[in-house]
């Protein structure tokens, strides 16, 4: 039997910003070989807006394949180490290509191996997630040496570069004049706004998609009803991934065997308070509840 959490995790909801991001990255992937200089683009947005899922979709469309002449890696995707260095980044790139002894060698030796393997595995696009780690928020320092190394790497391998992360990514890009000159306009993955009618409909559409999947297996309330959707919005601050946490919380609280509307309502209160603590959304959520509930005419008992 499918668990609630696994169903939610496997459900991919392609809302408008998500689809636009996938289309743009796919366009740059197809154009990468013809471009006169490497194509660079940043996928930027707050945490839990679906950036990693965008990368997942694009990567799955161009998977790694083992051929008779060796590995074919059209998209090389890695996650930035928490404190990136050239040796550390080279190591995760080598691991991503399945290289043996990725930890072996000096900085220059690892760099040569990375370039050789990227050329010989047909790498057309390099994806680097959590790019904000290039900026140390504590010391306000930017890893300029690593950023310069990355610029030279994409120049010499002629592959497209997609970096993804929090808005502080832009600080890293803008601080390096040569790197900034290679980047196109960023792809933005914003949190949804309830005040914007189009974004509100998108948010409600996401909840409706989850309801359509889950209602085939569980007795669930209609998440897409405006009063319920508004509660999801207040709890999550318009962040799509946190809506998933609200949905699966009843199971985490050992209530999955009785998913009735009243159970969901109680679980929602617990999930909302937990999310507010975890993401420091309490003050923001309370303001939204009072200000927007009044404007919408919602009653406290709904």
Q: Is residue 23 a contact partner of residue 266, using CB atoms and an 8 Å limit?
A: no
Tokens matching residue 29: 């992937």
Enter the pTM of the model: 0.78
Q: DSSP labels for 247-292? A: HHHHHHTT-GGG--HHHHHHHHHHHHHHHHHHHT-HHHHHHHHHHH
Q: Is residue 106 a contact partner of residue 118, using CB atoms and an 8 Å limit?
A: no
How many Å is the maximal CA-CA distance in the chain?
Answer: 67
Digit-by-digit pLDDT tens for the chain (302 residues) are: 456 556 666 666 678 888 999 999 999 999 988 888 899 999 999 988 889 999 999 999 999 998 887 889 999 999 999 889 999 999 999 999 988 889 999 999 999 999 999 999 999 999 999 999 998 777 767 788 899 999 999 999 999 999 999 999 998 899 888 888 889 999 999 888 899 999 999 888 888 888 888 778 777 778 888 888 888 887 777 887 666 666 655 554 544 444 444 455 555 555 555 555 444 443 444 444 434 443 443 443 34
How many angstroms from the chain centroid is the CA of residue 218?
A: 28
The structural domains of the chain, ordered by start, are 16-188 (3.40.50.300), 192-296 (no CATH)
pLDDT value of position 289: 43
Q: DSSP labels for 79-106? A: E--SS--HHHHHHHHHHHTT-TTTT-S-
């Amino acid at each position: 039997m499918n668990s609630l959490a696994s169903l939610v995790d496997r459900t991919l909801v392609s809302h408008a910003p998500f689809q636009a991001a996938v289309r743009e990255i796919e366009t740059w992937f197809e154009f990468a070989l013809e471009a006169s200089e490497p194509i660079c683009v940043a996928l930027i947005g707050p945490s839990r807006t679906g950036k990693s899922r965008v990368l997942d979709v694009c990567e799955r469309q161009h998977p790694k394949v083992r051929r008779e002449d060796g590995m074919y890696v059209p998209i090389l995707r890695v996650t930035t180490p928490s404190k990136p260095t050239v040796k550390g980044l080279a190591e995760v790139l080598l691991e991503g290509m399945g290289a043996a002894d990725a930890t072996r060698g000096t900085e220059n030796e690892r760099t040569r191996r990375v370039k050789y393997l990227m050329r010989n595995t047909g790498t057309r696009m390099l994806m680097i997630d959590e790019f904000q780690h290039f900026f140390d928020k504590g010391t306000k320092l930017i890893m300029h040496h690593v950023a310069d190394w990355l610029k030279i790497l994409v120049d010499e391998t002629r592959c497209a570069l997609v970096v993804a992360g929090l808005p502080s990514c832009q600080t890293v890009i803008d601080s390096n004049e040569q790197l900034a000159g290679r980047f196109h306009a960023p792809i933005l993955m914003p949190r949804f706004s309830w005040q914007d009618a189009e974004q509100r409909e998108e948010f409600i559409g996401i909840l409706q998609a989850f309801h359509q999947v889950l209602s085939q297996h569980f007795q669930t309330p209609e998440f897409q009803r405006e009063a319920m959707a508004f509660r999801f919005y207040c709890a999550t601050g318009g962040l799509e991934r946190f809506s998933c946490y609200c949905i699966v919380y009843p199971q985490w609280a050992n209530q999955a065997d009785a998913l009735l509307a009243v159970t969901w309502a109680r679980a929602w209160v617990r999930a909302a308070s937990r999310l507010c603590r975890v993401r420091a959304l309490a003050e923001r959520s309370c303001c939204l509840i009072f200000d927007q509930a009044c404007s919408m005419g919602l009653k406290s008992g709904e």
